[in-house]
Structure 1
C-alpha cells in the first residue's frame, strides 16, 4: 500500500465542487521513484523543478570530478549513488517545489495504486461534505482480545521468568 500527498493549486477553492476542480489535484507518491532513478535529468525537467535541476547538476558535477581524481570504478559508484539517492528523494523534492510555488497539501491518501488512492480520497471528501459525522453513526462494537496466557508445562510465563500458575 502506498501513501500519496494530495496537492492543490493555489487558486483551488473546493475540490468537490466540480469534476474540473477535482482534476486539478495532483497526487504525489511518497515512495521510491524508478523514473527519477533511471532518467533523473529528464524526470526533473518533465516536472519543471528548476532549482532542483541546478542543485542536482552542481552536486553531480562536484561528485564526478572528485571521483575522477580517485580513478578506477569511483566515478561509476558515485553516479550510481547520486542516482539512488535522488530516486529516494525525488518525490519529496517534487512536493517541496510545488509548496514553494504556492500549492498546499490537502491531505494524505492511501491505496495500492494511484487510482485507488484517488477513489479513497474523494470518497472521504464526499462523506465530509455530505455532513455524515462519526458522532451520528452508531458506535462500533468493542471487541476484547482473547486472554491467552502463555504456559510452559504447568507454569505460566510472566515477562521473562516463570511464575506459579494461578487458579481462577
Structure 2
C-alpha cells in the first residue's frame, strides 16, 4: 500500500460539492520517484518547480566541480548520489513547494494505487459530510501510563530485572 498526501489549492471551498472541485485536488505519493531519479531536470520542469530547479542546478554544479578536483570515479559517485538523494526527496520537495504557494494539506490517503487512494479519501469525506460513520474503523487511541517507570503487574521494572533498584 502506498500513502498519498492530498493537497488542495488555496481557493478550494468544498471538494465534495462538485466533481470539478474534486478534480482540483492533487495526490502526491510518499515514495521514491523513479522519474525524478532518472530525469531530474525534466521532472522538475514538468512540475514547474522553478526555485527547486535553480537550487538543484547550483548544488549539482558545485558537487560536480568538487568531484572533478577529487578525480577518479568521484564524478560518477557524486552524480549518482545527487540523483539518488533527489529521487528520495522529490515528492517531499514538491509538497513543500506547493505549501509555499498557498496549497494546504487536506489529509492522507492510502491504497494499492492512486485510484484506490482517491476512492478511499472521497468515501471518507462523504461519510464526514453526511454524518455517517466511515466504513473503515479507526484504531483505538493508545493509552499511555501516567508513570515513567515501567511496571509488570505491581512490580517496577529496573533495567532487565524486576524489583527495586539497589545502590552500590
Deviations 1:54-102 (A, max 9, x none): 1100110000000001111110110000000000000000000000000
The equivalent of 1:59 in structure 2 is 59
Counterpart of 2:123 in structure 1 is 123
After superposing on structure 2, the runs of 4+ consecutive aligned residues of structure 1 that deviate more than 4 Å are none
SS of residue in 2 equivalent to 1:119: helix
Where do residues 89-128 of structure 1 align in structure 2 (5 Å cutoff)?
Answer: 89-128=89-128
Question: SS of the residue aligned with 1:110?
Answer: strand
Residues in 1 aligned to 2:14 and 2:35: alpha-carbon distance in whole angstroms = 32
- The structure that has the greater radius of gyration is 1
Give the superposition deviation at 1:133.
Answer: 3.9
Rounded to whole Å, the distance in 2 between the matches of 1:109 and 1:23 is 15
Separation in 2 of the partners of 1:133 and 1:36? 39
How does 1:3-152 map onto structure 2 within 5 Å?
Answer: 3-133=3-133
SS at match of 1:118: helix
Determine the C-alpha separation between the residues in 1 that align with 2:110 and 2:29: 9
Following superposition, the deviation at residue 23 of structure 1 comes to: 0.2
| CA RMSD between the two structures | 1.8
* TM-score, normalised relative to structure 2: 0.79
Q: Distance in 2 between matches of 1:132 and 1:120?
A: 15
Q: Which runs of 5+ in 1 are unaligned?
A: 135-159, 162-168
Tell me the distance in 2 between the aligned counterparts of 1:132 and 1:121: 15
